Amino acid sequence: MTKIDILQGTLDMLILRILNQGTMHGWGIADRIESISESVLKVGEGSLYPALYRMQQKGWIKSEWSVSENNRKAKFYSLTASGRKQLREKEKSWNRMTGAVAAIMQNS
Amino acid sequence: MRFFRRFLALFQRRRFESEMEEEMRLHREHRIEQAIENGMSREEAGRTANRKMGSLDQAKESARDEHGFLWFDYLKQDISYAWRGLRKSPGFALVVIFTLTAGIGCNTACFSLLNSLLLRPLAYPNADRIVFLAESPPGEISYDSNGASFARWQENDDLFEQLGGYHLRGTTLTGRDHPRPVYLTETTAGLFEIFSARLTQGRSFRRAEHQPGQGHVAVISHEFWQQQLGGDLDILGAQLVFDGVGHDVIGVLEPRAFPYDNAIFVPSDVLHNEAKRAPGSDYDMSTFALLNPDVERGPAQTRLQSMRGAYPDSYLPEQRNWRDTIQSWRDASYGTYKPAFMMTALVVAAILLIACVNITNLALARNRARSGEIALRLALGASTGRIVRQLLTETMLLAIFGGLLGAIAGVALFQGFIRWTNMNTLRFVETSLDYRVMLFAAGATLLAGLVCGLLPALRCARPGINTHLKEGQQGVATGKRRRLQSGLVIAECACTVALLIIAVLLLRSLQNVAASDPGFTREGVLYFSLSPPAERTPDADSSARFTDQVVTQLHRIPGVVAAGATSAVPMSKVEYRTEAVRRITQDPDAGGLTVGIDSVAPGFFDTLQISLLRGRTLTAADNQSAAPRAVLVNSRLAELLFENEPALGSPIVWRGEQWEIVGIVSDTARYYLGHDPIPQLFVAQARLPLPMSYVLRAQVDPMSLIKSVRAAVEETHPGLALTNLRRLSDRADGSMGLRRIFLSTFGLFAGVGLALAAMGVFGLMTYTAAQRMREMGIRIALGATTRDIMNLILGDSLRLIGLGLLAGTVLAAAGSRLLQSQLYAINNLDPASYLLAIATLAATGTFASLLPAWKAARANPVSVLRSE
């Protein structure tokens, strides 16, 4: 398994996408990214929490202490309206970029 | 918004830290549980979890950065580092703080003065709309108006919300314990309203009381009530007797209700009294107005001027070319001093500049000494910005200390200045502490700190570490750096020598004024005022007789050599009259020459020893109301009006009538020492009855004769009080008071500048000499003597100072042109003064360089070269 460095903006987009499907706590988000990508993408704490705090400062997500599924205390994050807007925009630019890369790879 | 959040976040720091701890801990536990579920043992799970967590501290640091705490952490680090560094170099810190205290202190004091006088609203409501009206001769602004002009200015309701004025009359208050001399303020309607003056008791004047004969009432000031009437609680309805007529006290003003210290107000009947409203009437007034809210001074003045043209009967024909002027209250009060204030402001700004130059140089030198350490830090990964911020913090810390002390010193200096110059008697100027002054001090401190700190910090934090590390601690001073520092010292010397030159010019000017000949004798002369009661002097002849009696009595006092009387003793603060005269051959419509008019009784010229140049003086024969019209003029008037023709015997037109010039007297300085003589006309008292002042000259100190003088007056006219009893020499000295204040202030600032410049030269020379130690070591090893080395270093220093002197002299030559009006009998380019100032700075600078030069010359070449 290789660890691929994910660009900061891309990580933000992934986090927003996952939160779009529902509230989640920090390690839950990391788990989810790892499991959906079949362990291709692993997010360390050094990347995850700064990203979460940054997005919280920008007002894209908000947090709340609550109790998790196994009766543990955890900080839950959820999307805000502006976060949803950000997600859509990031998705658009991501698609544009990957489309461009694919076009070059196929045609040159 | 981000900054706001970040700022708020500071306060939530603790909660954030604990929450982050908690979150990370939970995450770690989760990982461990996951691992256990996958079959690992607890310890192995723990190890794996640790590995997968990555660097926890770095994660926390990044998180903190995102949250915005780092800049605050850095600031705390910078401050504590700077504090430690400064404690290790207390000398540097103290010098900088002291220098800044001096610079910011001077500036704060000066700004406080300008603020109180020019920026802050005056202490009365609507003060910005209060104006002062006057009739001014061509080419100057005066402060006089009279009954005629006051009447002419009525009926201007669209310009003025209120219009009011007052006339001062000296008289004696009787009917209380003892007769007391007082000044009555005859007030028109509208005056109290202009200053929003309110009463604590009683009422103000009614319309009817402004009619002739109906005004036997008085309003008194709070201060007069308390101090002179004992705060009598029953004061309303009490009688004050002036001129033998009882006036009922009908009201008491609030403290400081009126901006000047007038004590007793009676209603004026000027608008209903033909004699007082006649053109050229002697009813002098000071007129104020409250402009309507949307009226500007300029257009209002134009309107008054055009009205003047429409009412030629309200002024004398000779005053046809005079103008009606409207001045703001501020300008009328101290407008003439504005150039002096501005000049002082420039001066103190120059001092702050010098101070900053010194500090910058010191900081440059200090940073040079630490360049090795800084280079190392840069090599280890510190960003340039971080280093600059840290160096700057050090300077800012010093600046804040210096600025704080400077602000306190400046405020104290300002308050001291107020007491010294009695400025607190100007009731309408606020001298209390103002937020603007604090703001200024803070701003100046910040600016000084940035200016002094930024340059050295930027200089120091350059990359190029190799050079730094290789050079080591001592090397040859790089050319560029030396040029910068030299340039700064040159600038410093230039500013200082400019200040010194101006200070010397002012000093010599003052000396010239003090030694100037005012045209009359000051020593041994006493003067005083005496107001005869109106019932004893109903007409001009009786006034003349009254005066004669007093003068005769004065002559009888042993020790008195001469005695006389006049309406205005030179340099006393009595009201001066200015009117216009013309030659008989001149066209009346062309306007006349503005002259000072004095009424004299025989003996005046003799007493003051004013020489008679031609003709004769006025005698007792002229002192009759029916005598032929004869006047005396001074030589200035003769020059101006008659030029090369003889003035003696010629007719002159004054107040529409012809008068003969029977004598010419020498010029005198009328207002203050050093004043250019103005053309003057002298008339016998019987022809121009005015309140008189009596002068006497004695062989002994005139103050020893006071008792005899009082006795003499008491004998002839019992029950009258003498006022303004003074020595003329004291008054003459006092007339230079303002000059002295200006000079002392300037001298103080120039002295501060000199001290700072000396420090600057000393600092630079020490630093340069230290930098060139290696070079000096080599020279000495090769055979240079102590003298050679000293000459070398002194030579460099003199070169710098010389350039500074040159620049400063040019600066002073240009700047002193502005000062020319203040300089008496001395050219603004006076060589002797310039030389004195230049020599002072050159000597100080050389002296300051001696020690560093000597130390360099005494360096042991072996130890210097070995330390490399």
Query: In the prediction, which pLDDT does B680 show?
Result: 92
* DSSP code at position B821: G
SS3 of B582, please?
strand
Q: What is the mean pLDDT of chain B?
A: 84
pLDDT in tens, B323-346: 999 999 988 888 877 877 888 888
Query: In the prediction, which pLDDT does A16 show?
Result: 92
A9 part of contact set with chain B, CB < 8 Å: no
Q: For residues B252 and B222, is the Cβ–Cβ distance under 8 A? A: yes
Closest chain A CA to residue B19: A75
CA distance B769 to chain A (A): 53
The answer, yes or no, to whether residue B317 has pLDDT greater than 80, is no
CA distance A13 to chain B (A): 17
Give the integer Cα–Cα distance in Å for B433 and B420: 18
A53 part of contact set with chain B, CB < 8 Å: yes
Q: Could you say which of A45, A58, A72 has the minimum Cβ distance to residue B53?
A: A45
CA distance A71 to chain B (A): 12
Q: How confident is the model at residue B476 (pLDDT cuts 50, 70, 90)?
A: very low
The tokens 């002697």 sit on which residue? B282
The answer, yes or no, to whether residue B28 has pLDDT greater than 90, is no
The answer, yes or no, to whether residue B315 has pLDDT greater than 90, is no
> A6 or B648: whose pLDDT is higher?
B648
pLDDT in tens, B596-645: 889 999 889 999 999 999 899 998 888 888 888 999 999 999 998 888 88
Query: In the prediction, which pLDDT does B348 show?
Result: 86
The answer, yes or no, to whether residue B690 has pLDDT greater than 50, is yes
Q: How confident is the model at residue B94 (pLDDT cuts 50, 70, 90)?
A: confident
Query: In the prediction, which pLDDT does B705 show?
Result: 87
The answer, yes or no, to whether residue B473 has pLDDT greater than 80, is no
From the list B787, B779, B780, the residue with the least C-alpha distance to B853 is B787
pLDDT in tens, B663-684: 999 999 888 887 788 899 999 9
The answer, yes or no, to whether residue B137 has pLDDT greater than 60, is yes
Q: Phi, psi at residue B723, to the nearest 5°?
A: -130, 165
Q: How far is residue B706 from each of residues B205, B402, B574, B664, B740, measured CA to CA in Å?
A: 40, 54, 21, 33, 29
Query: In the prediction, which pLDDT does B58 show?
Result: 66
Query: In the prediction, which pLDDT does B399 show?
Result: 93
Considering only CB atoms, which chain A residues are within 8 Å of B62? 46, 49-50
CA distance A95 to chain B (A): 28
Query: In the prediction, which pLDDT does B268 show?
Result: 93
Q: Give which of A3, A41, A49 to mutate to test B binding, by max B Cβ within 10 Å.
A: A49
Give the integer Cα–Cα distance in Å for B528 and B524: 14
pLDDT in tens, B503-551: 888 888 888 888 888 888 888 899 998 878 777 788 888 889 999 999 9
Query: In the prediction, which pLDDT does B742 show?
Result: 79
pLDDT in tens, B122-132: 889 999 999 99
A49 part of contact set with chain B, CB < 8 Å: yes
Query: In the prediction, which pLDDT does B222 show?
Result: 92
* DSSP code at position B175: S
CB contact under 8 Å between A50 and B20, yes or no, is: no
Q: What's the mean pLDDT in B721-745?
A: 82
CA distance B59 to chain A (A): 4
Q: How confident is the model at residue B486 (pLDDT cuts 50, 70, 90)?
A: confident
A46 part of contact set with chain B, CB < 8 Å: yes
Query: In the prediction, which pLDDT does B112 show?
Result: 93
Q: What's the mean pLDDT in B311-318?
A: 83
Considering only CB atoms, which chain B residues are within 8 Å of A26? 23, 26-27
Proportion of chain B above pLDDT 90, given as a percent: 24
- Number of cross-chain residue pairs from A and B with Cβ atoms under 8 Å apart: 56
Q: How confident is the model at residue B468 (pLDDT cuts 50, 70, 90)?
A: low
CA distance B8 to chain A (A): 11
pLDDT tens, per residue, chain A with 108 residues: 334 455 667 888 999 999 999 899 888 898 898 888 888 887 877 788 888 888 888 889 998 988 887 787 888 999 999 999 999 999 998 899 889 999 999 986
Q: How confident is the model at residue B695 (pLDDT cuts 50, 70, 90)?
A: very high
> A74 or B178: whose pLDDT is higher?
A74
Q: How confident is the model at residue B474 (pLDDT cuts 50, 70, 90)?
A: very low
A66 part of contact set with chain B, CB < 8 Å: no
The tokens 């350490």 sit on which residue? B373
pLDDT in tens, B415-460: 998 888 887 777 888 888 899 999 999 999 999 999 888 888 877 7
The answer, yes or no, to whether residue B757 has pLDDT greater than 90, is no
Query: In the prediction, which pLDDT does B1 show?
Result: 53
Considering only CB atoms, which chain A residues are within 8 Å of B63? 49-50, 53
CB contact under 8 Å between B54 and A54, yes or no, is: no
Query: In the prediction, which pLDDT does B7 show?
Result: 65
Give the integer Cα–Cα distance in Å for A91 and B100: 58
Give the integer Cα–Cα distance in Å for B651 and B628: 12
Burial class from Cβ neighbours inside 10 Å (0-12, 13-18, 19+) for residue A70 reads exposed
Considering only CB atoms, which chain B residues are within 8 Å of A31? 34
Give the integer Cα–Cα distance in Å for B457 and B450: 10
The answer, yes or no, to whether residue B152 has pLDDT greater than 50, is yes
Closest chain B CA to residue A52: B63
ipTM of the shown complex = 0.78
Q: What's the mean pLDDT in B178-192?
A: 87
Q: For residues B170 and B183, is the Cβ–Cβ distance under 8 A? A: yes
Query: In the prediction, which pLDDT does A3 show?
Result: 45
Considering only CB atoms, which chain A residues are within 8 Å of B5? 57
Q: For residues B431 and B129, is the Cβ–Cβ distance under 8 A? A: no
CB contact under 8 Å between B23 and A26, yes or no, is: yes
Q: For residues B700 and B559, is the Cβ–Cβ distance under 8 A? A: yes
Q: What's the mean pLDDT in B707-715?
A: 86
CB contact under 8 Å between B24 and A45, yes or no, is: yes
Query: In the prediction, which pLDDT does B5 show?
Result: 61
Q: What's the mean pLDDT in B365-373?
A: 77
Give the integer Cα–Cα distance in Å for B818 and B804: 22
Q: How confident is the model at residue B29 (pLDDT cuts 50, 70, 90)?
A: confident
Q: What's the mean pLDDT in B788-796?
A: 84
Closest chain B CA to residue A47: B59
CB contact under 8 Å between B59 and A46, yes or no, is: yes
The answer, yes or no, to whether residue B63 has pLDDT greater than 80, is no
Q: End-to-end alpha-carbon separation of chain A, Å?
A: 30
